[in-house]
Amino acid sequence: GESVGLHLPTLSVQEGDNSIINCAYSNSASDYFIWYKQESGKGPQFIIDIRSNMDKRQGQRVTVLLNKTVKHLSLQIAATQPGDSAVYFCAESKEGGKLIFGQGTELSVKP
Amino acid sequence: NAGVMQNPRHLVRRRGQEARLRCSPMKGHSHVYWYRQLPEEGLKFMVYLQKENIIDESGMPKERFSAEFPKEGPSILRIQQVVRGDSAAYFCASSPSSGWSAFFGQGTRLTVV
């Protein structure tokens, strides 16, 4: 069936370290994926996206990797900061643009 | 350029009352999506609308829930005869077209007492 799942519910890292958040998806026909950050009491905030014709995309301090062979997506955050503490969701864009979200990974950054 | 605006931010309703949640998309965005988020869960798609049209309502409960996006004014998510299980955060997102990433509002937190 359609689903997007995350490997770990929580991730704790030291400030300054790199963070890696993983996500698996089940629909091999999916062609567009997005990572969102959600802070407590706020709406999801767009971080970075990637289309299936790409393996990697970089933004400011963030990199998304897509492995279509194993249907796996990851978000890498370089030099993690306390302000990066939040819940991170991967989302798969379906027909019409509706998003299928994973359960989320809570990132906690220790000073 | 204002983002997606939702109001109210918090809404308390007694069981059996009606809840109306409003969403004004970003300027230039004609695609609106509504999602529901239960505590400590991911967002679940409810409905996708364009101006005056419901495109996909596959995530909407069959009863009590309705949505509209009129030619003028905000999109409205309406919940009739609310029950405690309707308590959740409801998020609206908009995009300029279906192939682009959607931007979210801050949500309306509905509490049914």
Closest chain B C-alpha to A101 CA, distance in angstroms: 6
Residues B94, B25 contacting (CB under 8 angstroms): yes
Summarised one tens digit per residue, pLDDT across range B8-33 is: 999 999 999 999 999 999 998 999 99
Contact B33 A46 (CB under 8 A): no
- What pLDDT tens digit does each residue of chain A (111 aa) get? 445 654 558 999 999 999 999 998 888 788 899 999 999 999 999 999 999 999 999 999 999 999 999 999 999 999 999 999 999 999 998 878 889 998 789 999 998
Closest chain B C-alpha to A53 CA, distance in angstroms: 14
How far is residue B50's CA from residue A96's CA, in Å, rounded to a whole number?
A: 11
Maximum distance among all alpha carbons in chain B? 39
Summarised one tens digit per residue, pLDDT across range B87-109 is: 999 999 999 887 778 899 999 99
**Secondary structure of A53-110 in the HEC alphabet?**
CCCEEECCCEEEEEECCCCEEEEEECCCCHHHCEEEEEEEECHHHCEEECCCEEEEEE
Residue of B nearest to A103 (CA): B42
Task: Give me the pLDDT at residue A30, please.
Answer: 83
How far is residue A15's CA from residue A12's CA, in Å, rounded to a whole number?
A: 10
Interchain CB contact of B41 with A (< 8 Å): yes
